[in-house]
Amino acid sequence: MRVILSVSEKSGIGLLGRGLAELGAEIYSTGGTKRALEAAGVPVYAVSKLTGFPEILGGRVKTLHPVVHGGILARRDVNADLEEISEHNLNAIDLVAVNLYPFEETVARPSTTLSDALEQIDIGGPAMLRAAAKNYQAVLPLCDPADYPGVLAALGQPGRADEAFRRRLAAKAFRHTAGYDALIAAYLGQGDESWPQELPLGLRRVQELRYGENPQQRAAFYAVRRPGKDASGLVAARQLQGKPLSYNNILDADAAWAAVSDYHPVTVAIIKHTNPCGLARVDDAGGLDSSTLAAYELALAGDPQAAFGGIVAVNAPVGGVQAECISRRFYEIVLAPEFSAGALEVLGSRPDLRVLAMPPYPAGELRWRSVAGGVLVQEADCLDDAEVAGGRVVTRRTPSDEEWLALAFAWRAVRHVKSNAIVLAQAGEGPAAGQTALVGMGAGQPSRVASVEIAVERAGSRAAGSVLASDAFFPKADGIEAAARAGVRAIVQPGGSRGDGETIAAADAAGLAMIFTGARHFCH
């Protein structure tokens, strides 16, 4: 048996080398791998002895040679291949262990230059690994140190390294090189504003999940590998306590963190099935702890019934008093940038409650969404503060100062509600000045007026004096009329419908103020 070992990640290489030597393998290696094997007491030859050609170009060319690739790619069941390698005095190679230059780690360093990055693009390693994987029925391709013990065991027991075993290793090798190439393409393509014809996506598994949306569906959680950037979002969360996250937990937690990250200074969201059933913002003039507590209580008041079993997100540190209030009700997850020792002690009384310390929400990244047979990719939906402040008042009445505040809050909130999205909100006055909260929400209905009716029903008496935000235009006056009957005082919507004249007339007839922003914020 003849093998080539050439790895960047040296963990386990001594174990592999000794095991192969005990099986009688003739081992060839390069540079640092050869030194590591020698240090482990493994008899090893330089690849240059196999090729009869020295490493050149500062090590850029070591294994790119017909002796190497002919030995790997020769088909053992094709007589012409065997005769040809014999004619050229080549020997078959039976195992290749390769993992690639640390490109990802290199570009993650802020001091890395383009020249540094280019030197960490492996050429010979992927070529050998792909060649071995192509000819997996004769050559074992190894790219993961975790597989070393299993391969040694299989080689030591006739019949263990069967077709299925080899094929799994080959698939893993091609996934490894594909992810590596995707990372390099992303790095070199940074700043390219066009949509490329081909868009590879490098993913790394974070965890296997117990199941997906339902118990009969298998699922896993993967991180998007982004060159030169730290992990972000739920991938980078630190779980401080509680059961493992489920598929639905991850979706809901992401929606919750996106919602509170859209506001400052202190905001609390309570999410159920990716929609905010509670959302409140409070100025921290009275102190961070009291503001956080007030924001939580206002968010909970948005829909206390729906909040049961939901997810609480806070965009400020959580202390013991806030944790005490949160722990009185059943929630699946609590998310915040950090938790005090006292808060963790209180939340620890509910050991199943998942507590996540979150990094800043990643802004401006592409959003990916799968459909059957394909993937949709789009930029993140960004909101310009001027959309409301600079919006066009289309009614006779102009919003009051408090209504302007509530409209700006509601317009930002409606972006986080599933279409057709309607949000009712109120801004506090007097002692409650600086507090703004969602008081009703309607989502996901096939008609916009149905969402309005649901929102005002959930708001109840709090609909009176509230403002309404709609993620898209009202095609008819019925939604405006339903809002007016409930006591809504001002509306913000994109406008642009053929029925705008009808809706403006309905708003004027009811004494409502209405703003057109000219921007739509669907969230399907």
Q: Give me the active site residues, please.
A: 134, 273
Residue with tokens 């944790």: 323
Q: Which of 254, 265, 307, 23 is nearest to 148 (CA)?
A: 23
What 195-201 contacts at long range (C-beta under 8 Å, 24+ apart), as own/partner pairs, is 195/377, 199/377, 201/368, 201/375
Tokens of 418: 């599933």
CA 365 → CA 361, 371, 379, distances in Å? 10, 20, 7
Give the H or E element holding residue 6.
strand 2-7
Q: What is the CA radius of gyration of the chain?
A: 30
Q: Which of 323, 268, 289 is nearest to 436 (CA)?
A: 268
Tokens of 224: 């998007």
Nearest 5°: CA angle at 95, between 93 and 99? 125
What's the length of the chain? 524
Alpha-carbon distance 402 to 170, whole Å?
Answer: 64
- Residues 6+ positions from 224 with CB-CB distance below 8 Å: 201, 202, 203, 235, 368
CA 313 → CA 45, 257, 368, 389, 422, distances in Å? 58, 6, 23, 27, 21
Q: Are 263 and 314 in contact (CB under 8 A)?
A: no
Alpha-carbon distance 97 to 14, whole Å?
Answer: 12
Give the H or E element holding residue 172.
helix 163-188
